Amino acid sequence: MIRRRRVLLTLVTAWTLLLSGMLTGGPALAAADVASCAPDSGSATIGGTVTGAGATPLSNVLVTAYTTYGVRAGSDYTDASGAYQITGLIGGSYLLKYEPSGEYMAEWYNNQATAFTATPVSVSEGGSISGINAEMGFGARFIGTVVGLGGGPLQSISVTVYDAEGRSVASAFTDAAGNYTTRPGLPSGTYRIGFGGGSGFLPAFYNAATTLEEATPLAVTAPTVRSGINATLNPGGAISGVVTSAETGLPVSGLWVSASGSGGSSYDFTNASGAYELIGLGSGSYTVQVESSGTLNLVSAERQDVQVTAPDTTAGVDFALEGGATLSGTVTGPGGAPLNGITVYISNEDGSYQDYVSTNAAGIYTASAMPAGTYRVLFRPSNYIPEAYNDRPNFSDADQIIVPPQGNVTGINAELAPGARVSGTVTDATTGLPIEDIFVEVLDLDGGRVEATFTQADGTYQTQTTLASGQYLVRFNADGRFASCTYVTAYYGGQLREEDAEQITVSAPTPLTGIDAQLTRGSILFGRLTDAGTGEPITSGQVSVYDADNNAVGFGRLTFLGGWYTDTGLPSGSYRLRFSDYDDGYIDEYYDDALSFEEATPVEVTAPTDITGLDAALARGALIGGRVTAGDTGEPFSAGWVAVYNLDGDEIGYGALDDDGSYVVRTGLPSGSYRVAVVPYGTGGELAASPAQGGATDGSAYAISYYGRSVTPTTATPVVVSAPELRDAIDIVMLQGAWLPLLRR
């Protein structure tokens, strides 16, 4: 475990200056005040002018302000005079990025290449600062020509420039002569270039590479324009055929035909002769399918598996579509009045057919192009109580409808009853001022959402008129997208937990009014996540917030600067934080440098005081890799996933299987001993025949198999790792044996 100096918690940040009055005992913030989790909720302004060579004003430059934690706060485009003005900012410090659309290269204020070296710009709440100008320099660009092998120039081919991390940083499209010039300008560095496919030709990377990793690196120094970066694209293979009606034998035009597989994807529409051609496909296996036509009442044909060898055409992949069935009915309201515009959802049991149709002015709906099968129907209005056929409250309880081949099932009707709505007002518990953009949910007593809406500027809300008589819960949610983020989510009655929430009683169709809420401001937590060895920011992951009982109560979002923040307010209390990356090989840890919840340092929150400096530096962990084969055939096994367990049996790592059976568990593991197992896909308690015996290929023929040729954890061979090494060659053989309870990640 790599230790780091504990970071002192601070109670104010440079970019939340407005909070200082509150943090020093000043008056509590009102609902109309700014929210630290929504830096675009203020009234401050930053402006300036952007120019190019010779002080030429540059228009259409995107200027974006980010907080010092990396949260986007606002943006503006420069006008014809090069001027911009970013409004609505809360008081604080910001990093400004300037992104041109032409030959100039992006930069950060003040003339810096990255956000990490940018000069912060500070502005007070309600204040305005001007003169934050930028004089942009020309960047490096690439020029070349794209042609097709054995043909002429290719137009509208996409060209993408990638940096060393594989991020797209510039692009272009070829013109009629096949020429391109990438934009925007780039800083000096090394890049790789990819060429998209088109016009029947395959994509490629410079120089004639098939993957980004194999592409030739191109070094360039700004403002050099490097020319001659040309490409000759190889022709792809094709699939062709004809689509006809099985009943008449006549061609069917206008149908969407697609292929997807190991060598790409393509689509086409059938012409007047029913013919289609799917071009630009690399060698490999494809699945070809035809979409059904409701207008012609034709059912989608069975998909076909097709092998393609580029640049050849696999012809004769024909489809004959059978006629479909129809299902129809009438939807009425009280007194038998027809209801127009009611949404009707129809699905068969395996979900292969799903459709939404609407009633017309006569209340009639019709679904067509339906294959034979068993169906359920749900009627979902906006001003009546939803119901499923036949007068059932839920879709899962709907009466089943048998649809025969090419049949016409009628009379699937519904008479909808008027529902009730819930309304009220949400205000700040301290000031009484209204709160806008609170997400209001009406829940059933199992916690399922029944209706939802947002509060308006005056704090009022009103749901749709769809509620049946009964008991419900109402939850008032802070929303991380808006200034309401700073409030604490609560239920009607002021409770914070669902089990404590006060129920409301609805008697349809009578509206239920006065379901109000007074919400309190919570605290927002801030920090940074970095690599313990390099100090570089970790940008992919999550910070989980747990209460004292180890219940997850919130999370923090990571930004491109490695900063994180909770996007809704937390009530006063004691919390523990868990820092985790998204399978980048780091060891997850708790604040402060702890490996378990029990060892974590509690973070004491006194709302509405924000807390900053909750930083963590993650150490690289050990990785485990190997290959999985079927014990009865010796062939690669990929129909499952790899799970890593500690010696107490807790799953702490996960890895995916490639087609060749290889795997790497990229969850960073602390040094120690583990058990590694492969969990096959598939369910069922009986052991099926193996694939070699003609059985299933989804993995259900095999038992959960551990490293060490074991089907039980107690007899598995422990795998000892030492961080940050890759422990390779942990090969696992899939065994046939008695089924154990399926382990789930």
Bridge pairing between strands 552-558 and 541-547: antiparallel
How many CB atoms are closer than 10 A to CB 533? 12
When pLDDT is averaged across residues 685-705 and rounded to a whole number, the result is 51
Residue 225 located in a structural domain: yes
Q: Which residue has the tokens 């014990």?
A: 631
Annotate 611-677 with DSSP letters as a single string.
Answer: BB---EEEPB-EEEEEEEEETTT--B--SEEEEEE-TTS-EEEEEEBPTTSEEEEEEEE-SEEEEEE
Nearest to 164 by CA among 219, 206, 113: 219
When pLDDT is averaged across residues 691-705 and rounded to a whole number, the result is 58
Residue 742 located in a structural domain: no
Residue 743 located in a structural domain: no
Which domain-ending residue is among 233, 259, 279? Answer: 233
Please, which residues have CB within 8 angstroms of residue 622's CB and are 6 or more apart in sequence? Answer: 668, 669, 670, 671, 721, 722, 723, 724, 725, 726, 727
Task: Name the average pLDDT for the chain.
Answer: 91
pLDDT at 700: 62
When pLDDT is averaged across residues 206-214 and rounded to a whole number, the result is 95
The single-letter DSSP state of residue 413 is -
Nearest to 704 by CA among 683, 685, 679, 738: 679
Please, which residues have CB within 8 angstroms of residue 414's CB and are 6 or more apart in sequence? Answer: 329, 331, 332, 379, 387, 389, 391
pLDDT at 11: 33
pLDDT at 691: 37
Q: Which residue has the tokens 């890049």?
A: 191
Residue 336 located in a structural domain: yes
Do 356 and 437 have their domain in common? no
pLDDT at 189: 96
Annotate 88-142 with DSSP letters as a single string.
Answer: EEPSEEEEEEEE-SSSBB-EETTTBSSGGGPPPEEE-TT-EE----EE--B-BEE
pLDDT value at 17 more than 90: no
pLDDT at 118: 97
pLDDT value at 533 more than 90: yes
pLDDT at 402: 97
pLDDT value at 182 more than 60: yes
Residue 740 located in a structural domain: no
When pLDDT is averaged across residues 672-689 and rounded to a whole number, the result is 70
Q: Rounded CA gap, 542 and 564, in Å? A: 8
Please, which residues have CB within 8 angstroms of residue 190's CB and are 6 or more apart in sequence? Answer: 164, 217, 218, 219, 220
pLDDT at 232: 97
- Torsion region of 177: left, alpha or beta (phi above 0 gives left; psi -120 to 50 gives alpha): alpha
Q: How confident is the model at residue 160 (pLDDT cuts 50, 70, 90)?
A: very high
* Residues 377-434 pLDDT 10s: 999 998 999 999 999 999 999 999 999 999 999 999 999 999 999 999 999 999 999 9
Beta bridge partners of 476: 440, 490
Structural domain boundaries enclosing 601: 526-618
Annotate 529-547 with DSSP letters as a single string.
Answer: EEETTT-PBP-SEEEEEEE
Do 268 and 333 have their domain in common? no
3-class DSSP assignment, residue 481: coil
pLDDT at 496: 95
Q: Show contacts of 398-402: CB within 8 Å, 24+ apart.
A: 400/374, 400/375, 400/376, 401/327, 401/374, 401/375, 401/376, 401/377, 402/374, 402/375
Do 596 and 627 have their domain in common? no
pLDDT at 294: 79
Please, which residues have CB within 8 angstroms of residue 95's CB and are 6 or more apart in sequence? Answer: 65, 66, 67, 68, 108, 109, 115, 118, 120, 121
Q: Show contacts of 168-175: CB within 8 Å, 24+ apart.
A: 170/141, 170/142, 174/145, 174/146
Contact assessment for residue 94 and residue 65, using Cβ atoms and an 8 Å cutoff = yes
Q: 22 or 734, which is more confident? A: 734
* Residues 545-592 pLDDT 10s: 999 999 999 999 899 999 999 989 999 999 999 999 988 899 999 999
Which domain-ending residue is among 87, 114, 135? Answer: 135
Q: Rounded CA gap, 63 and 65, in Å? A: 7
Nearest to 526 by CA among 2, 9, 122, 139: 9
Please, which residues have CB within 8 angstroms of residue 376's CB and are 6 or more apart in sequence? Answer: 346, 347, 349, 388, 389, 395, 396, 398, 399, 400, 401
Residue 21 located in a structural domain: no
pLDDT value at 457 more than 90: yes
Lowest-confidence range among 21-35, 90-104, 258-272?
Answer: 21-35
Do 611 and 635 have their domain in common? no
pLDDT value at 27 more than 90: no
* Residues 125-145 pLDDT 10s: 999 999 999 999 999 999 999
Q: How far is CA 553 from CA 488, 501, 541, 547, 652, in A?
A: 11, 16, 17, 6, 21
pLDDT at 53: 87
When pLDDT is averaged across residues 82-101 and rounded to a whole number, the result is 96
Q: Rounded CA gap, 365 and 41, in Å? A: 46
Say which CATH number the domain at 606 has. 2.60.40.1120
Q: What percent of the chain has pLDDT over 70?
A: 92
Q: Rounded CA gap, 573 and 661, in Å? A: 48
Say which CATH number the domain at 299 has. 2.60.40.10
Q: How far is CA 41 from CA 36, 486, 559, in A?
A: 8, 11, 19
Q: How confident is the model at residue 507 (pLDDT cuts 50, 70, 90)?
A: very high
Burial of 79 (0-12, 13-18, 19+ CB in 10 A): middle
pLDDT at 125: 92
Q: 33 or 46, which is more confident? A: 46
Annotate 663-716 with DSSP letters as a single string.
Answer: EEEEEEE-SEEEEEEEEES---SSPPPPGGGT--SSSTTS--EETTTBSSGGGS
Q: How confident is the model at residue 29 (pLDDT cuts 50, 70, 90)?
A: very low
Residue 566 located in a structural domain: yes
Contact assessment for residue 617 and residue 533, using Cβ atoms and an 8 Å cutoff = no
pLDDT value at 612 more than 50: yes
Do 717 and 641 have their domain in common? yes
Contact assessment for residue 723 and residue 669, using Cβ atoms and an 8 Å cutoff = yes
Do 501 and 433 have their domain in common? yes
Which stretch of DSSP H or E encloses residue 22?
A: helix 20-23
pLDDT at 575: 98
pLDDT at 580: 94
Angle at 298 between CA 295 and CA 300, to 5 degrees: 120
Do 111 and 198 have their domain in common? no
Exposure letters 405-436 (e unless 16+ CB within 10 A, then b): ebeebeebbbbbeebbbbbbbbbbbbbeebbb
When pLDDT is averaged across residues 649-675 and rounded to a whole number, the result is 94
Do 348 and 385 have their domain in common? yes
Q: Rounded CA gap, 635 and 690, in Å? A: 12
Q: Which residue type occupies 38? A: A
Q: 31 or 608, which is more confident? A: 608
Q: How confident is the model at residue 699 (pLDDT cuts 50, 70, 90)?
A: low
pLDDT value at 262 more than 90: no
Do 371 and 452 have their domain in common? no
Do 195 and 222 have their domain in common? yes
Beta bridge partners of 402: 374
When pLDDT is averaged across residues 45-65 and rounded to a whole number, the result is 96
Q: How confident is the model at residue 695 (pLDDT cuts 50, 70, 90)?
A: very low
Q: How confident is the model at residue 675 (pLDDT cuts 50, 70, 90)?
A: very high
pLDDT value at 2 more than 90: no
Q: What are phi and psi of 475, to 5 degrees?
A: -115, 135
Q: Rounded CA gap, 569 and 375, in Å? A: 45
Q: How confident is the model at residue 356 (pLDDT cuts 50, 70, 90)?
A: very high
Residue 24 located in a structural domain: no
pLDDT at 150: 87
- Per the structure, the count of domains in the chain is 7
The two three-digit tokens of residue 504, written as one number: 């409301």
Do 357 and 301 have their domain in common? no
pLDDT value at 111 more than 80: yes
Contact assessment for residue 256 and residue 248, using Cβ atoms and an 8 Å cutoff = no
* Residues 617-649 pLDDT 10s: 999 999 999 999 999 999 999 999 999 999 999
Do 228 and 146 have their domain in common? yes
Nearest to 325 by CA among 360, 367, 378, 290: 367
Bridge pairing between strands 62-67 and 640-645: unpaired
pLDDT value at 345 more than 90: yes
pLDDT at 583: 80
The two three-digit tokens of residue 546, written as one number: 């747990």
Q: What percent of the chain has pLDDT over 90?
A: 86
Q: Which residue type occupies 31? A: A
Which domain-ending residue is among 395, 415, 435? Answer: 415
